A and B are shown apart, each in its own frame.
Chain A
Amino acid sequence: MKVKVKVRRFNPEKDHRPYWGEYQLEAQPTDRVLDLLVYIKGYIDGTLTFRRSCAHGICGSDAMVINGRNRLACKELVKDVGRTIVIEPLRGLPVIKDLAVDMEPFFRKYRSILPFLINDEPPPYTERLQSPEARERFDDTTKCILCAACTTSCPSFWANDSYLGPAAIVQAHRFIFDDRDRGAQARLAILAEADGVWRCRTIYNCVDACPREIDITRAIGEVKKLLLVE
């Protein structure tokens, strides 16, 4: 089938403002949107710039806005997006070139919530024991691949880019609800600040955006609830 791909282009070395690049190509219904971008770059316009790596939804490199929604280009198939495919860079992060945005502000927020197990008690020689139920408690939030699709879909983040954003809260949740961790108080103190969890207005964009189907709003709700109890 013939498809038209419209890409929001911007080259910082040449362009004063972004413009739309349009490409017509032949595609299979089961092609990934990423396959189309790779084809355009390989055979039509080598200057088209985007990140990609694993191409099956695990590495988190190729989050972008596809027909208005935050998606991984490698998990969107042509048959599901129609014959006209409009692709833009993630919103709320500075565009570097075409679809590549500056990820540093995103990773800074990630690092700020102490994203590592905190437990100074000497471990046993073998594994610490953890019940399957306790393990299940934070299973959903261990799936996060840090693609930034959720945070950059969030109107609260667009309005105020100092907001931690859903991804950082998901990462905090993964440790707060792990019964081996002892750092919950330190993390909750960060999440209780003005730019923390209360900026979430439960708009649910993040849930739609998450390629890992993490129930993000629920995770944020659990953190909010814990803060109220504390």
Chain B
Amino acid sequence: MIHRFDVIVVGAGGAGLMAALYASRGAKTAVISKLYPTRSHTGTAQGGIGAALGNMEEDHPEWHIFDTIKGSDYLADQDAVKILCEEAVGMVYELEHMGLPFDRTPDGRIAQRPFGGHTNNVTKQPVRRACHAADRTGHMILQTVYQQCIKNNVTFFDEYQVLDLLVNDEGHVAGVTAIHIDSGELHTFYGKATIFATGGFGRLWKITSNAYALTGDGVAVAFRRGIPLEDMEFYQFHPTGILGLGILLTEGVRGEGGVLINGEGERFMPRYAPTVKDLASRDVVSRAIYLEVRAGRGIGGKDYVYLDVRPETVNKYFVEDGVKNPDGTPRRITAQDIRRKLPDISDFCKTYLQLDPIKSPLPIQPTAHYAMGGIPTNNNAEVVIDAQGTVMPGFYAAGECACVSVHGANRLGTNSLVDILVFGRRAGQNAAIYAAQADWPRLPAAAEEPARAALAAIRNGTGREVVAQIRAEMRSLMMDNVGVFRTEALLSEALARLRDLKECFSRISIMDKGKRWNTELLEAWELGCMLDLAEVTTVAALTRTESRGAHFREDFPERDDVNWLKHSLAYLEADGQIRMDTKPVTLGLYEPARRVY
């Protein structure tokens, strides 16, 4: 079945919905999503969206720009960061106008809280920049933008999973092939412009904050169609995941005063980040936790530490640090403040840890959280396919699947929500403008055949290998060898074992041979995507012989601006090999400097 739309949006999280909202104002637009839109992972973002509104204390977009560039370990493209931080302010107001229920200050303005790496550039102290709706800011963003899509009659194809990108002989993108999950039938979505907003791939790692859906489908599909992937070695581990489960406990917990405590009862972050302490950027805090554990200072000598937000602990350190409210009074927190500002966190702790954060410290460990790398785009959200910035006609990407790059080697908390909306909007606007003037691209002959063949190969497989087993091995391997600390030995071993796992994957079989709702088939297909992305991540990590942001090589522990102040690009060659290339970083605002928090 062929559907014809001017603009096709793949993915219905914040980026996809924002793109669709804007594209649909000027072009016939469809949104395709493997989940109902409200199930998308944007909904799990907790702490806030960063924008220098200055509602609670002095703040400026210029400070947000500097913090983001410093947070990126100087790998972000500075022109893109400028767009991100300047447009953030108007975007937050736009969300409010759409009806987003932000928390409010006593005078009725949008309330803001401190977050990791966001600072007053003069005093170097944490600044209140994260605009929040309790600790469910992402939920409210997803709901609000979806509501606007309903209001504007955007066309949705819910529970359709995209399997292939249609690229014709002229190198133009002509849409996608998707499977209707309910019927099992393939559909061709033929369009002038295609926007990928397919999210990340945290399911590569054993401990992750990411939903089951985050298997990197869009990124893998683009890679297989010859689009290079940028900066794949940079994957963020969020410092505070619930022990064993990886469920996120927002940085907002530390924004409200929570501290990290090791097995000796010591608040250890001041040793690693003397100025902002527990509110250093995520790469710094995650490494600090691992180093404490490695030095035998985990809780009970084990592999975790405590996140402590008990009022008595928080207030003790508020006194010690002389922390003040915006009006100059000493800052203090009560049990009621925590319940009011962090209700979902309290609920997660109660449900999964049987602990009350007001009464007990919380066992946490770093959890795989966010891909800084992905499909390379320019500032118009157009996909670019080489180091010279050549645009692939008709193809756009936004959000976590894309790499603009606004996050460089390490993303600051709250900036992903800014990114999805600012660049989702740009993708929607630019795709609609493109569709208005472009001719219909030629649709490749037998467009559905590659997807049909890929599914048939899985469905008809008769080997003895088990999808769940391969998946579990891949996730453990990535956690152990391609995690926070990396070495050539670990990465080389990972690469060899990943290639074994890919070989095993060619010998799988599945039990469900049916058409309708065959999620066993789709999970197997998703595993193929993840294995591809695991390999790219590992090759990229092996290639970058320096440490920067989230990519830490113990055998190359220093940042190397002479050789490595550049983005990486990974290409899939015709013989299946991965070829690495680089492209320059756009500077212009701030010269790289030593990064101290």
Contacts and interface: CB of A to CB of B under 8 A. Distances in A.
A46 B107 CA distance: 56
Nearest to A52: B212
A161 interface: no
A42 B102 CA distance: 41
B556 to A, nearest CB: 36
Interface stretch (B298-306, B444-452, B475-483, B506-514): B506-514
Nearest to A146: B38
Interface stretch (A135-143, A150-158, A190-198): A135-143
B476 to A, nearest CB: 14
B59 interface: no
A75 interface: yes
A14 interface: yes
A228 B182 CA distance: 43
A129 to B, nearest CB: 3
A52 B148 CA distance: 25
B211 interface: yes
Contacts of A126: 53, 93, 109
A146 B146 CA distance: 12
Interface string B124-158: 00000000011010011001100110110000000
B511 A45 contact: yes
Interface string B90-119: 001100111101111111111000000000
Interface residues of A, number: 58
What range describes how many residues of B lie at the interface?
35 or more
B517 A116 contact: no
Interface stretch (B39-47, B267-275, B380-388, B542-550): B39-47
A13 B516 CA distance: 7
B467 interface: yes
B3 interface: no
B280 to A, nearest CB: 26
Interface in B451-490: 466-469, 471
B136 A46 contact: no
B317 interface: no
B35 A61 contact: yes
Interface stretch (A81-89, A95-103, A202-210): A95-103
B104 A60 contact: no
A98 B440 CA distance: 42
B348 A117 contact: no
Contacts of B510: 46
B212 A42 contact: no
B190 to A, nearest CB: 25
A180 B109 contact: no
A14 B39 CA distance: 29
Given A46-B520, A96-B516, A180-B99, A59 B109 contact: no
A127 B150 contact: no
B571 to A, nearest CB: 31
Contacts of A46: 467, 510-512, 520
A50 B212 CA distance: 12
A190 to B, nearest CB: 15
A143 B511 contact: no
A58 B139 contact: yes
Contacts of B590: none
B466 to A, nearest CB: 7
A111 B36 CA distance: 14
Interface of B: 35-36, 38-41, 43-44, 53, 92-93, 96-99, 101-110, 133-134, 136, 139-140, 143-144, 147-148, 150-151, 182, 211-213, 245, 247, 344, 347-348, 351-352, 466-469, 471, 510-512, 514-517, 519-520
30 contacts: A13-B514, A30-B352, A43-B466, A43-B468, A46-B467, A47-B512, A47-B520, A50-B519, A53-B35, A55-B211, A55-B247, A56-B247, A58-B43, A60-B38, A61-B39, A103-B36, A111-B150, A116-B99, A116-B150, A117-B99, A119-B99, A127-B96, A131-B104, A132-B108, A135-B102, A142-B101, A145-B38, A146-B36, A178-B99, A213-B347
Given A11-B516, A59-B211, A116-B151, 12 more contacts: A41-B468, A54-B44, A59-B38, A59-B40, A116-B150, A117-B147, A123-B96, A127-B92, A127-B93, A129-B107, A131-B104, A146-B36
